[in-house]
Amino acid sequence: MTIDTLVEQIRAAGGTLLLLEGDVVRYRLPEGTVHLIGELKQRKPELMELLRRAGGRIACMPHCPHCASYALYRENNRGTYECLTCELQNIEESVARRLM
């Protein structure tokens, strides 16, 4: 697997990768992608270069498919989203993150 493919899998699943000062890489991996931690660690130099080219952050922030607002809410971070701007209800994760 290439570093681009690895990072795309994490991004598409809703994960976040950050490059901090001192070449520290931080990540938030959703359930189902934690098995990739070992490969991320093995490919740290490649990952750091990719993060530098991306401005230090790779993430897929959910947003409303109707009004494009990032002001989404879901109770206990589970289930479907509700847009706090246009009040659209029952927004599925895959739609909010444009994974379809």
Same domain assignment for residues 50 and 19: yes
Task: For residues 47 and 29, state if they share a domain.
Answer: yes
State which residues form the domain around 21: 3-58
Q: How many domains does the chain have?
A: 2
Strand order in the sheet with 57-58: 24-28, 16-20, 57-58
Q: 76 and 52, same structural domain?
A: no
Angle subtended at Cα 72 by Cα 68 and Cα 31, rounded to the nearest 5 degrees: 110
Note the Cα 38 to chain centre separation in Å. Answer: 18
Q: Are residues 96 and 66 in the same domain?
A: yes
Claim to verify: residue 15 and residue 43 sit in the same structural domain: yes
Q: Specify whether the CB–CB gap between 47 and 7 falls below 8 A.
A: yes
**pTM, rounded to two decimals:** 0.62
Residue range 5-31: mean pLDDT, rounded: 85
What's the pLDDT at 99? Answer: 52
Claim to verify: residue 45 and residue 76 sit in the same structural domain = no
State the helix-helix crossing angle for 3-12 and 44-53, rounded to 10 degrees. Answer: 70
Do 49 and 75 reside in the same domain of the chain?
Answer: no
Same domain for 9 and 53? Answer: yes
Same domain, 7 and 33: yes
In this structure, the answer to whether residues 38 and 65 fall within a common structural domain is no
pLDDT for 98 beyond 70: no
Which tens digits make up the pLDDT trace of 49-90? 998 888 888 877 788 888 888 899 999 888 999 999 999 999
